[in-house]
Amino acid sequence: MKLNDLPTNNAWTLARRAERMNPSVIREILKVTEKPGIISLAGGLPSPKTFPVSAFAEASAAVLANDGPAALQYAASEGFAPLRQAIADFLPWNVDPDQILITTGSQQALDLIAKVLIDESSRVLVETPTYLGALQAFTPMEPTVVAVASDDEGVLIDDLKAKVGTGADKARFLYVLPNFQNPTGRTMSDARRAELVKAAAELNLPLVEDNPYGDLWFDNPPPAPLTARNPEGCIYMGSFSKVLAPGLRLGYIVAPKAVYPKLLQAKQAADLHTPGYNQRLVAEVMKGGFLDRHVPTIRALYKQQCEAMLAALDKEMQGLGVHWNRPDGGMFLWVRLPEGMSAIELLPKAVERNVAFVPGAAFYADNADQRTLRLSFVTSTVEQIATGIAALAAAIREHKG
Amino acid sequence: MKLNDLPTNNAWTLARRAERMNPSVIREILKVTEKPGIISLAGGLPSPKTFPVSAFAEASAAVLANDGPAALQYAASEGFAPLRQAIADFLPWNVDPDQILITTGSQQALDLIAKVLIDESSRVLVETPTYLGALQAFTPMEPTVVAVASDDEGVLIDDLKAKVGTGADKARFLYVLPNFQNPTGRTMSDARRAELVKAAAELNLPLVEDNPYGDLWFDNPPPAPLTARNPEGCIYMGSFSKVLAPGLRLGYIVAPKAVYPKLLQAKQAADLHTPGYNQRLVAEVMKGGFLDRHVPTIRALYKQQCEAMLAALDKEMQGLGVHWNRPDGGMFLWVRLPEGMSAIELLPKAVERNVAFVPGAAFYADNADQRTLRLSFVTSTVEQIATGIAALAAAIREHKG
C-alpha cells in the first residue's frame, strides 16, 4: 500500500470548545511589534536582569550532585515536600503544606480550577478589566463570564451582589487579582478587601485569588490577601515567575479541603506532576533566606523604571487629555486616551514610531473600553522608557489630528 | 471583622466532570505497597541507573553559562526551536519542525488532545486493555470510551469497523499504543499496522498514536509508526521520559495542520509553555548523537531484566496454569492467572510476601479481565526480580488453595 493510495483524510472533528479558543491577542500583537529597534512597553516579560542565573547554576550543580536520580525520576503529583513547606513558611498566614499543590506555572492553576469548578454555561465573575490569561484558561470549559464593575480600589460590592446570580445560575466563583493587577496595576484597598470577603461569605461565593505580583511592592507591602481572611472560602494562587524566573514554570495553589482532592486529580490527569528537577532547584535557591535578599533588588529596579515612566508621561503627555494611574508596585500601569480615541487604531501609528503597547480592549470580558491601553515598565531600560513615551505622545498627537 | 464572624462557607459547587475524576488507581496501589523491603514489580518507574546525571550536570552548566537569561524567561508556546528541529531529525519519517508541539510530558499531550477533540459524550475508541493515564486524561472531557477487541498483534480490524459509529456518534479517534504497550508489553505487527492505517483512512477515523517506549527494543526495532504511514490522518506522541529522564516532563506532539493550531491554543491556555530551561537541557544533551550512544545501554539493561523475569516465571510458575507473554522491548509484561482467580484478590497476599504488581482490571475501559496483571521488569534488579517472582508464585499457590 502506498500513501497516495489512501483516501484523503478529512476526519478531524474538533470539539465545540475548540471553536471558542483563540490565539492569545497579546502574543499576536507581540508578533506585529517584533521589528528591529522597537521599544516594547507591551509584553509582560520580567526584566532578565532580575534572574539569579548564578544562584540557579549553583543550585543545579548541588541538586544533581546530591539528589540527581530522584530529581530526574517521576514524582508525587502534590509537589516536592520541602518546596511545599518552604511556600507554607513564606506565606503570611497559617498554611498547612498539605493544602499546597505545585503547578506548572500559575497558568496551569487556572486550567485546573476551570476543570474542577466550571460546567458548560456556569456563571464565572471577573473584574473589569481582568487578566487575559485567566479568560483563556476558563474558555475551554465554556463558562458564561460576567464582568463585575470595578473602581480604583477593586470590584464594586453592590455590582457583585447584582451579578452573583441565583440557583443553577449562581456564580461558581469570582476571579480577582488584588495586588498590582494585570492589566491595570491597581491594588485593592484594605477596606475593600474586608468588604469583599464579608460579602462573598454572605453570598456563599468562592473567591479565586491570583497573586503573581504581590511581592513586587515599591514602598509598602499590599494589604493582607483575601485568602488569609477566609481560607476555607478562597483558592489562592502564587508564582515564582516574577520573584525568581518564569522559564522554570513554577506556581502553586493553596486550596481548602473542599476542593483540594479534585484539583489534585485534575493535576494528575493534566501532566502527572510539575518537573521535580525545577521544584528542587527553587527549593535549593530559597534556602537561607535568598528571596529576602533578592526580591528587594527587583522592587528597587521596577520602582525606578516605574518612576521613569511616570516622569516621562508627566512631561510628554501635557495637554493631550491622556490619563493614567500611579501603581504601588508590580509591572504595569493603565492609560486612558482622550474621548473619541481608540487604542487599537493608535497601535499601528505607535509601531511606526517604534513603540508598542497592548490595547486595553483585550482585557475586558465584555463592554471593552476602547480608550484604554496597558504599559509595562519592567522590560525596557529607563532610557528606552523615556524615548518610548515620547514616541507614544507623538503618535497620540498625530492621531488626534 | 474576625474570621469566626464569617458565615460557614459551603459554597464550593464542583463541575460535573469532577465527579468522574478519580485518584489514579496505580498511585493508590503504590501507596499500599510502600512498605519497607517490598519488591515492587508494580510501578512504571524507569530504572534510575539509566538517568544520565552527569550529562545533565554538564548541560545545566552550559545552558546557564551560554544562554541563562533566555533559558529562564517566558518562551514560545510551540517549544524551543532547536529542540523541535532535533526531534524532527530524530523521527524516522519526514517531519516538518512546525508540526511539532513540545508538551509538559506525554500526559499533557493527552490532555490537549482531549480538549481539542472530545465533546461531552463523544465516542472515543481505545485498545483492550489500554493505558490508564490516557483514560484519566480523557475523562474530564466526558467522552463515551469504547474498547476495541485486541489480540497479540493489536486491535482487531473487524471489531474496529463494528465500533467506529456513525453520524454524531462517529468516533472522534482511536487511541493506540503500538510499541511494547502499557500495560501488556505487546507490539502491533507490521501487517496489522498496514491494515489499521488503511481501515482508518477508509473509515475517516483519526488515529492518536502514543509511542513512549518505541526506542526500548531488545533485538530489533519495531515496525514503522502508524503516523509515518499516513501523517495527515494521525497525531503522534513522543516522550523523553524513557530515554532520558521522566522528571524533566518533556514530551511532544506531531500533529497535522488540521489540528495543530487548536492544540497550540489549548497549550497556551494550559501552561503557556513547557519550561524553557528543561527544553534547552535536553537539546544540549542530545547534541553530538548522545541518544545513539545512551539508548543502547538502556535497551541492554531492560533486556537483561526482562530475560531474568521470563526465566523466573518459567521456573517458578510451573504447573500453576499461569500464562504470560514475551515482550520484544519496553518495560512491562502481561500475566494471566488461571480460571477463577482474581488479581485484585491476589494482591494483598502478594504484598504480605513482599512483592507488588498492578491488577490488570485498572487498564480496561469496560469488561475488565480480572485474571490479568501487569509486571514491570525495569525498576528492580535481576536478583530482586528472581525473589519477587518466587514470592508471587508462592502467593498464587496459596491463593489457589
Tens of pLDDT, residues B95-154? 999 999 999 999 999 999 999 999 999 999 999 999 999 999 999 999 999 999 999 999
ipTM of the modeled complex: 0.95
Parallel, antiparallel or unpaired: strands A358-359 and A372-376: antiparallel
Amino acid of residue B39: I
Q: Are B279 and B268 in contact (CB under 8 A)?
A: no
Q: Flag if B268 and A22 touch (Cβ within 8 Å).
A: no
B201 touches chain A (CB under 8 A): yes
Q: Which residues pair with B207 in a beta bridge?
A: B174, B234
Specify the length of chain B in residues: 401
DSSP A200-269: HHHHT--EEEE-SSTT-BSSSPPPPPHHHH-GGGEEEEEESTTTT-GGG--EEEE--TTTHHHHHHHHHH
Query: Per-residue pLDDT averaged across B190-196, rounded?
Result: 98
What distance in Å separates the CA atoms of residue B287 and residue B55, rounded to the nearest whole number? 11
pLDDT at res. B21: 86
pLDDT at res. A4: 43
DSSP H helices, A21-130, are 25-32, 53-72, 81-90, 105-117
Q: Using CB atoms and an 8 Å cut-off, which of residues 139-178 of chain B contact chain A?
A: 139-141, 170, 172
Q: Are A371 and A343 in contact (CB under 8 A)?
A: yes
Q: Which of A141, A173, A137 is nearest to A155 (CA)?
A: A173
| CATH 3.40.190.10 correct for A22-51+292-400 | no
Q: What is the mean pLDDT of chain B?
A: 94
What distance in Å separates the CA atoms of residue B10 and residue A258, rounded to the nearest whole number? 9
Q: Under CATH, what is the fold of the domain A53-290? A: Aspartate Aminotransferase; domain 2 (3.40.640)
φ, ψ dihedrals at A39, nearest 5°: -95, 115
Whether A53-290 and A22-51+292-400 are alike in CATH topology: the answer is no
What are the tens digits of pLDDT across the range B52-61?
999 999 999 9
Q: Flag if B13 and A172 touch (Cβ within 8 Å).
A: yes
Q: Domain ranges for chain B, please list them.
A: 17-51+292-400, 53-290
DSSP B275-333: -HHHHHHHHHHHGGGHHHHHHHHHHHHHHHHHHHHHHHHHHHSTTTT-EE---SBSSEE
Q: Are B106 and B152 in contact (CB under 8 A)?
A: no
Q: Which residues pair with A209 in a beta bridge?
A: A176, A236
Q: Are B376 and B43 in contact (CB under 8 A)?
A: yes
Specify the length of chain A in residues: 401
Q: Which of B185, B181, B211, B270 is nearest to B90 (CA)?
A: B211
pLDDT at res. B10: 65
DSSP state, B223? Answer: P
Q: Flag if A268 and B24 touch (Cβ within 8 Å).
A: yes
What distance in Å separates the CA atoms of residue B162 and residue A139, rounded to the nearest whole number? 35
Q: Flag if A269 and B140 touch (Cβ within 8 Å).
A: yes
What distance in Å separates the CA atoms of residue B348 and residue A314, rounded to the nearest whole number? 74
pLDDT band at B23; cut points 50, 70, 90: confident
- Residues of chain B in contact with residue A202, where contact means CB-CB under 8 angstroms, are 7
Q: Are A396 and A322 in contact (CB under 8 A)?
A: yes
**How far lies A324's CA from each of A219, A313, A375, B315, in Å?**
20, 8, 10, 80
Bond preceding residue A69 cis, omega within 30 of 0: no
DSSP state, A126? Answer: E
What distance in Å separates the CA atoms of residue A374 and residue B153, rounded to the nearest whole number? 58
DSSP state, A149? Answer: P
Q: Flag if B249 and A272 touch (Cβ within 8 Å).
A: yes
B257 touches chain A (CB under 8 A): no
What distance in Å separates the CA atoms of residue A354 and residue A36, rounded to the nearest whole number? 9
DSSP H helices, A75-121, are 81-90, 105-117
Parallel, antiparallel or unpaired: strands A207-210 and A234-239: parallel
Bond preceding residue B183 cis, omega within 30 of 0: yes
Q: What is the pLDDT along chain A (401 residues), one digit of tens a residue?
A: 344 455 555 689 999 999 888 777 776 776 766 678 899 999 889 999 999 999 999 999 999 999 999 999 999 999 999 999 999 999 999 999 999 999 999 999 999 999 999 999 999 999 999 999 999 999 999 999 999 999 999 999 999 999 999 999 999 999 999 999 999 999 999 999 999 999 999 999 999 999 999 999 999 999 999 999 999 999 999 999 999 999 999 999 999 999 999 999 999 999 999 999 999 999 999 999 999 999 999 999 999 999 999 999 999 999 999 999 999 999 999 999 999 999 999 999 999 999 999 999 999 998 999 999 999 999 999 999 999 999 999 999 998 87
Check pLDDT > 50 for residue B346.
Answer: yes
What distance in Å separates the CA atoms of residue B46 and residue A269, rounded to the nearest whole number? 20
Q: Which residues pair with B151 in a beta bridge?
A: B154
Q: Under CATH, what is the fold of the domain B17-51+292-400? A: Aspartate Aminotransferase, domain 1 (3.90.1150)
B298 touches chain A (CB under 8 A): no
Query: Per-residue pLDDT averaged across B217-227, rounded?
Result: 98
Q: Flag if A23 and B265 touch (Cβ within 8 Å).
A: yes
CA distance B321 to chain A (A): 35
The cell for A28 is 499576536
**How far lies B272's CA from each of A377, B136, B264, in Å?**
22, 22, 10
CA distance A337 to chain B (A): 30
